[in-house]
Amino acid sequence: MTSTKKDPVIVVLQLTGGNDYFNTVIPYNDSLYYDNRPAVGYQQDQIIKIDDELGFMPTMGPIKGLYDQGKVAIFHGVGYADSPRSHFRSMDIWHTCEPDKVGTEGWAGRLARELDPNKENVLTAINFGHGLPRALVVPGVPVAAISDLSTYGVLTGIADQTQRSKALDLFARMYSPAIGSGMVTDYLRSTGMEAMTGADIVKVAPEIYSSSVEYPNSPIAAHLKDIAQVHLADLGTRIFYTQHASFDTHAGEAAAHPKLWQDVSEGIAAFFEDLHAHGEGENVVMYLFSEFGRRVRDNGSGTDHGAAGVAFAIGDTVKGGMYGQYPSRKPEDLEQGDLVPNYDFRGGYATLLEDWFGLDANPIVNGNFEKLDWLKK
């Protein structure tokens, strides 16, 4: 486990829709890139050079700035064998670490259970955004879901705790004829109480937050600002989860994909600037992933679903650099026209779980997978 003064924290940023790996970290000296990307490819002078072979797309300047500080790790060829190229199935696999069957528990929810087995803190894990990603879902594990921190609350029009409890009880009984009584009703009632408790606690975060850092005007920047507020309030949250969409660039990629990465890059830069301005950040690692990459050859307007992708880790305790090998772009090495994954995504999780949180990764990711040495000891 990496030694930090405070408990280690993870921020997971999901790039929903299938990020185009080939147009994110670009092999700009490979003629096959230009041959396969006549419609959506970048000219060499547009690409932000990382080294003599690879570069970032033009709107990833803020990420390049963090990379130059040694705070960004790039993981090549991430995925798993026999990609179904389906958003729903691929995301489910990433969320549950179950490529061969439909999983019932999310890896981040399992992590929350390990970190807080007695459910002493209902804010151990928080999702910022609408709904609850499957990655965080484990029966009996409380997870707060916040779409907007400034308006977050449950039954906020009822101030008295007893009255709110009665309202929840009424809600559970209203639905019991449809869903049955007993365990399900009890779950509804207890989940509602946990949500109310979390709402009452987390509302202090924006009240005590003060910062001179100006965040960009984008949905992902707003979520990252909310995460910063809760983290800086020191409420004991260990797992933050959020996402940005949609990276499903079948059409209009030349305009949409750069804007997506501009929003993500600028939001991340502001987030870490904010943490550092408050003397925080040394115990935070951000992990970015997408459910798959995209087809090597463009379709004339965008790119279709692929296989191998790229992941990133960002933070003060990250050993920046490249990890793994960029998959071959040669036609004979592709599978169904796609880059072939060469690093199992569960290895990234395993590194976080064991080297960052000090836990046994096996029961959380369902096996033993290759770890890479990208965290400072």
Cβ count near 167 (within 10 Å): 17
The per-residue pLDDT for range 211-240, each reduced to its tens digit, is 999 999 999 999 999 999 999 999 999 999
Bigger pLDDT: 84 vs 323: 323
Report the pLDDT value the prediction gives residue 298, as an integer from 0 to 100.
Answer: 98
CATH number for the domain formed by residue range(s) 9-150+212-365: 3.40.720
Report the pLDDT value the prediction gives residue 185, as an integer from 0 to 100.
Answer: 45
Partner residues linked to 375 by β-bridges: 318
**Averaged pLDDT score across all residues of the chain:** 89
Report the pLDDT value the prediction gives residue 201, as an integer from 0 to 100.
Answer: 78
Bigger pLDDT: 157 vs 348: 348
Q: What's this model's pTM, rounded to 2 decimal places?
A: 0.89
Q: Would you give the distance in Å from CA 224 to the centre of its chain?
A: 11
Report the pLDDT value the prediction gives residue 130, as an integer from 0 to 100.
Answer: 86
Q: What angle do CA 140, 125, 220 make, to 5 degrees?
A: 135
Report the pLDDT value the prediction gives residue 131, as an integer from 0 to 100.
Answer: 83
Report the pLDDT value the prediction gives residue 153, as an integer from 0 to 100.
Answer: 56
- Residue 236 makes CB contacts below 8 A (sequence gap 6+) with 7, 121, 123, 124
Judged against a pLDDT cut of 70, whether residue 160 lies above it is answered with no
For residue 154, which of 207, 203, 199 has the smallest C-alpha distance? Answer: 199
Report the pLDDT value the prediction gives residue 147, as an integer from 0 to 100.
Answer: 86
The per-residue pLDDT for range 339-370, each reduced to its tens digit, is 999 999 999 999 999 999 999 999 999 999 99
Q: What angle do CA 27, 345, 292 make, to 5 degrees?
A: 60
Report the pLDDT value the prediction gives residue 180, as an integer from 0 to 100.
Answer: 47
Q: Where are the domains of the chain?
A: 9-150+212-365, 153-202
State the pLDDT confidence band at 335, using cuts at 50, 70 and 90.
Answer: very high
Report the pLDDT value the prediction gives residue 44, as an integer from 0 to 100.
Answer: 97
Sheet holding 48-49, edge to edge: 25-27, 54-56, 48-49
Bigger pLDDT: 132 vs 275: 275
Bigger pLDDT: 274 vs 83: 274
Q: What angle do CA 269, 274, 275 make, to 5 degrees?
A: 105
Report the pLDDT value the prediction gives residue 3, as an integer from 0 to 100.
Answer: 45
Burial class (CB in 10 A: 0-12, 13-18, 19+), 200: middle
The per-residue pLDDT for range 116-138, each reduced to its tens digit, is 999 999 899 999 998 889 999 99
Report the pLDDT value the prediction gives residue 175, as an integer from 0 to 100.
Answer: 44
State the pLDDT confidence band at 195, using cuts at 50, 70 and 90.
Answer: low
Report the pLDDT value the prediction gives residue 91, as an integer from 0 to 100.
Answer: 95
Report the pLDDT value the prediction gives residue 192, as an integer from 0 to 100.
Answer: 45
Strand, helix or coil for residue 179: helix
The per-residue pLDDT for range 285-317, each reduced to its tens digit, is 999 999 999 999 999 999 999 999 999 999 999
The per-residue pLDDT for range 13-23, each reduced to its tens digit, is 999 999 999 99
| Percent of the chain predicted with pLDDT > 70 | 86
Judged against a pLDDT cut of 70, whether residue 283 lies above it is answered with yes
Bigger pLDDT: 147 vs 211: 211
Q: Please compute the mean of the pLDDT values over residues 148-152 and round it to a whole number.
A: 82
Report the pLDDT value the prediction gives residue 163, as an integer from 0 to 100.
Answer: 55
